Amino acid sequence: MLIYVGRRLAVIAVQALVITTVVFGLLRLLPGDPSYYLAGPQASQAQVDAIRASLRLDQPIPVQYAAYLGNLVQGDWGRSIRTTNNVLEDINHRLPATLELITISLILGLVTMVPLGVWSSMHQSHPAARVAAYWGRLSGSLPDFWVGILLVLVFYTALGIAPAPVGRLDISQVPPSGGTGFLVVDSVLSGRWDVLLSAIDHLLLPVATLAVVYSGMFYRQTRRAMERELETTRVLFAEACGLSQREIALRSLRNSVAPVLALIGNSYAFMLGGAVLVETVFTWGGLGQYAVAAVQSSDYFAISGVVLVTALFTLLVYFFVDVLNAYLDPRIRTS
Amino acid sequence: MTAANGLRSLPGRLKRGSARAAMSTSWSDRVAMAIALLMVFLALFGGAVAPHGGEQIFSGKELQPPSSDHWFGTDQNGMDVFSRAVVAPRYDVSIGLVGTAIAVVTGVVIGLVAGYLGGIAILLIRTSDMFQAFPVLILAMAVVAFLGQSIVNIILVVGFINAPLYARIAYTQAIRLRKREFIQSAVVSGLSPSRILWRHILPNSLGPVVVQLSVTVGWTILLTAGLSFVGAGLRPPTPEWGSMIAVGANNMVTGQWWAAVFPGLFLAMAIYSFAAVGDYVSRRLTVAA
């Protein structure tokens, strides 16, 4: 197991290096000189040159790349034009908001859809399974930003039971300082029950949006994995031996864990980059909204920082999924 | 026994049953195909069908609710929402189709060359595999913003972003085919590599590519609309679903829902129909194979 983890860590290190290279390459490939953006429209040529020299843009590409890597490792991810902070600091502030949103959405989606998928695979001709299958195909086609707007329309504008789609808390409330950055967790830890309620209140609609859009995928994948399992001769044999349906389902479940784990990993990683539009609808103030603002103001380092952090996070998620799979399935460890 | 315990586990029976289900064309398949065709039709002739111009402004008639004059109402700029929603496929669906074509051509060429000839193209495959880890939407936003928000740039970006998928599919196919006897006998008979690639490998690797096509069209439309929604794609007054939803969203909280709801409905219908057609094609091809 340890050998497997070690090997996997080595792979991840190489991949991370490739990712930094790609991000660096993209920065260089994009037209336009960042020193002009950073200097602003009124800067003189001398100022632009000074910035270019300070960014080492006047030096050969390999030197630039080495300097870029060195800065990354030391935590200097460049300065954001818009916020004037170190990009890494900005990201640190905003990442928890996005993670809280997507984590809760993911859990909600899985808790509802995995059992439904398993159940449908065992009752394929049941009307409810047919409806669910239809939902499985439909939900992924719904544009998440549009679903978010619809939910706001119904639950805020029409019914008035949801809070306005601005931010994670009521304006009057001060979030508990420090901690994990997850408002739900921090408020419990500091005993601020009013904050907890408000946080949950604000989470409801964006979480529902993401759950609606991703639930179809969760459902389809679980059901497909389980159906494939139930078609095996192993199950046929179990049936012939007279095992109960319940027993067979429980035993098949374990074999369907690998695809479902892969699904969780993929969707978690995908949602981090994909929650951008939902964050925009709900003015969530997370990483996605930061990315949008960065793009709109040509905020060079902020964009590359977000892309980099998302890609690295994805690698990390894949790593955990692989390790978990290896833990569950000895065949992976030894191959 | 299958009926008794509800588990459809008898392999023979299941295969026959599911094959029949897969080959049949259900009414929902027909509806999806009809909508997809309608969307392509609107992309070509939407301008002729729309009752008003897609960018025509009715001044003094801003934010009118749906009526017989303006079936879907008007938006905050006084433009007819129905006409705009009908003209929008000219941008959304066209970008989806052309973007997909670019993705397929570049992806398949890279994948086949890498799979059959190897060499430097393999490096391209490995790199494009890494792209899976990148946040597609943010990347697309950034590249379009830096290149300039023109239609051509949007098409190129959404096209190239989907190319790795096809490169991976074609690569796997080419590697599999390379070992087959008919390819090896082609090599022995002295056919040039380019001829083998073009006449023998390419036609035989297109199956899995075709299965993905329609899904990619839908996903590309969604990507385009998402870009425009955050202002990083097409901008008003260009009739495009994503930017129409963004404009309509401004008036949502005050109860003028029509300017955002209707374009979203068209967008969802377009994405769903292309995804469902892809689903149908893949079911048919998997059974036939």
DSSP result, A44-84: -HHHHHHHHHHTTTTS-HHHHHHHHHHHHHTT---B-TTT-
Kindly report the number of other CB atoms within 10 A of residue A109's CB atom. 25
Six-digit token string for A91: 């990201």
Residue of B nearest to A299 (CA): B142
Q: Which of A3-17, A105-119, A155-169, B13-27 has the highest mean pLDDT?
A: A105-119
Locus of tokens 């496929």: B89
Indicate whether B1 pLDDT > 70: no
Q: How far apart are CA A265 and CA B132, in angstroms?
A: 12
Residues of A with Cβ-Cβ distance to B279 under 8 angstroms: 137
Q: Is A234 helix (H, G, I), strand (E, B) or coil?
A: helix
Of B8, B249, B253, the CB nearest to A124: B8
Q: How far apart are CA A176 and CA B174, in angstroms?
A: 57
For residue A314, what is the enclosing H or E element? helix A300-328
ipTM, two decimals, is 0.86
Of B7, B134, B275, the CB nearest to A122: B7
CA distances from B39 to A96, A98, B36, B263, B274 (A): 40, 35, 5, 13, 9
Interchain pair B6, A122: CB under 8 A: yes
Indicate whether B79 pLDDT > 80: yes
Indicate whether B9 pLDDT > 70: no
pTM over the 0.90 mark:
no
Interchain pair A164, B141: CB under 8 A: no
What does the mean pLDDT of chain A come to? 85
Indicate whether B8 pLDDT > 50: no
User: Percent of chain A beyond pLDDT 70?
Assistant: 97
DSSP letters spanning A107-157: HHHHHHHHHHHHHHHH-TTSHHHHHHHHHHHHHTTS-HHHHHHHHHIIIII
Q: List, in sequence order, every residue forming a beta bridge with B74; answer none if it has no partner.
A: B80
Indicate whether A5 pLDDT > 50: yes
pLDDT by residue (tens digit) across A280-323?
A: 999 988 999 999 988 888 787 888 899 899 988 988 898 888 88
pLDDT by residue (tens digit) across B183-222?
A: 889 989 999 988 998 899 999 888 889 888 988 999 999 9
Kindly report the number of other CB atoms within 10 A of residue B238's CB atom. 18
Query: Which residue out of A141, A228, A309 would a mutagenesis test of the B interface target, given it has the greatest number of B Cβ atoms within 10 Å?
Result: A141
Residues of A with Cβ-Cβ distance to B248 under 8 angstroms: 149
The residue-averaged pLDDT of B7-16 equals 44
Contacting B residues, span 26-45, partner chain A, CB-CB under 8 Å: 28
Q: Is B195 helix (H, G, I), strand (E, B) or coil?
A: helix
Residue of B nearest to A274 (CA): B137
B143 touches chain A (CB under 8 A): yes
Q: How far apart are CA A266 and CA A287, in angstroms?
A: 18
CB-CB contact of B32 with B217 (8 Å): no
Q: What is the 3-state secondary structure (H, E, C) of B6-25?
A: CCCCCHHHHHHHHHHHHHCC
The residue-averaged pLDDT of A45-49 equals 82
pLDDT by residue (tens digit) across A196-245?
A: 888 888 899 999 999 999 999 899 888 888 888 888 888 888 888 888 88
CB-CB contact of A106 with A271 (8 Å): yes
From A277's Cα to the closest Cα of chain B, the distance in A is 7
Q: How far apart are CA A98 and CA A273, in angstroms?
A: 10
Of B1, B133, B248, the CB nearest to A315: B133
φ, ψ of residue B79 to 5 degrees: the values are -100, 145
Locus of tokens 């893949």: B282
